[in-house]
Amino acid sequence: MSFTAIRGLIAAGLVGVVAVAANAQDYSFENPECIAPANPGGGWDFTCRQVGKSLQDLGLIDQTMQVVNLAGGGGGVAFAEVVNKRGDDNDLIVAASSATATRLAQGAYPGNTMDQVRWLASIGADYGVIAVASDSEIDTLPQLLDQIKSDPTTISIAGGSAVGGWDHLKVLIAANTYGIEDVRSVKYIAFDGGGEAVTQLLAGSVQAFTGDISEAKGFVDSGDIKVIAVLSPERLGGEFSDFPTAREQGIDAIGANWRGFYAPGGMSDDAYDAWVAKIADLYASDEWKAVMDANGLAPLDLQGAEFQQFVAESVAKIQDISREIGIIK
C-alpha cells in the first residue's frame, strides 16, 4: 500500500451525517459509563474523560459519566469484557482508536471481530508524534533513525499500544520510509497506555516515545520531553506550530490516530441512536472545537453507519500495511 493510500485513510475533514430516531435526544441513560482500555494518562483515557465532562457540561447527559480503566492486551481485555459480559448494556460506551482497528486487523483479540460491537462515532483525529526526553542529544527524526540504522540495540522506543499496534506501526512506517530495510530491527517496547510509556522515557529506561499529540502535550508543557517529529502532512497550528513534521525532515511518513467509541453489540437501537446523536451534538459544539484546538485534534466527523463503514475500511487497510511490513502474513 502506498503512503498516499495511507493518507487517504486518515484524511481530515470528512463529514458524516446519520438519521436518528426522533426521540434520540430525549433518551435518558441511568448510569453512563465509559471504559478506557488502558491505564490513566493515555489517549483512550483522555477520550473517555474529556468527552464525559463535555457531555455533562453541555447538558447532553444528566449525570457524571463514570470512567473505568481496564487495561490489557492493547484493548483486548476491554473488548472481551464488553462482548462476553456486557453485550446488552445500554449505558456503556468504550473509547476506541486506530489502535483498536489495528489489533482487530491483526487478529490480536482472539476470537473477536469488529462486527461483535456497534461503532458509534468519531470525535477527531490525533496525529502521531515521535519524541525524546528534553535532555536527549537527539534533536531530529533523521538522527534517531540514523542511530537505529548504525546500531539498533542502542535505541528502544516506548509506546502505549501492543507490539504490532498502531504506535508501533507509526515508527515502522517512518523507518521503512527512511530506508531501514528490516523494520523488525527497530526495538519497540509496549506499555499499557501513553502515560506509562512517557514515564519510562523520563526514567531513562527507553530512548524515545511514539504516541499521539494529545498524549505528549502535557509532558511538552512541563518541559519533560521534546517532540522531534509530528506525523502530519503539514505543521499543526497554534501552540503546536513549533513541532517539526517528519515530512519537512525528508521522511514522508503520515500517521493519524482516529478517536471515537464503540458500544455493546446488543445495545438497543434507541440507546444506540441516542449515543450517536449526543456525540454528534458534542462534536458540533463550539466547546468541543475548543477542546480539539487545545489538544491538537484534527477534524474527523463520522457517526453511525458511516463510522461503522470507516472502521471496516480502516481494518482492511491496516491489514494491508501489516502484511507489507511483515507484521502478519
Percent of the chain that is helix, strand, coil (3-state, to 5) = 45, 20, 35
pLDDT digits (tens, 9 = 90+) for 169-205: 999 999 999 999 888 899 999 998 898 999 999 999 9
Q: Which pLDDT value is given to residue 237?
A: 85
Longest Cα separation, the chain: 62
- pTM for this model (two decimals): 0.79
Q: Give CA torsion, residues 114, 116, 122, 126, to 10 deg.
A: -40
Q: Read off the C-alpha cell for 113.
A: 471481530
Q: Which domains does the chain show, CATH number per domain?
A: 3-125+256-324 (3.40.190.150), 127-249 (3.40.190.10)
pLDDT digits (tens, 9 = 90+) for 22-51: 456 678 899 999 999 999 988 999 999 999
Question: Distance (Å, rounded) from C-alpha 275 to C-alpha 266?
Answer: 14
Q: In the chain, where do the E strands start and end?
A: 33-36, 66-69, 92-97, 117-133, 156-159, 187-190, 208-212, 225-230, 256-264, 297-298
Confidence of residue 5 (pLDDT cuts 50, 70, 90): very low
Residues paired with 186 in a beta bridge: none
Question: Distance (Å, rounded) from C-alpha 160 to C-alpha 190?
Answer: 6
pLDDT digits (tens, 9 = 90+) for 89-132: 999 999 999 999 999 999 999 999 999 999 999 999 989 999 99
Confidence of residue 161 (pLDDT cuts 50, 70, 90): confident
Q: Which pLDDT value is given to residue 291?
A: 94
Mean pLDDT of the 49-64 span = 96
Mean pLDDT of the 137-157 span = 97
Q: Is the pLDDT at 7 greater than 80, yes or no?
A: no
What DSSP state is assigned to residue 301?
B
The average confidence (pLDDT) of the chain is: 90
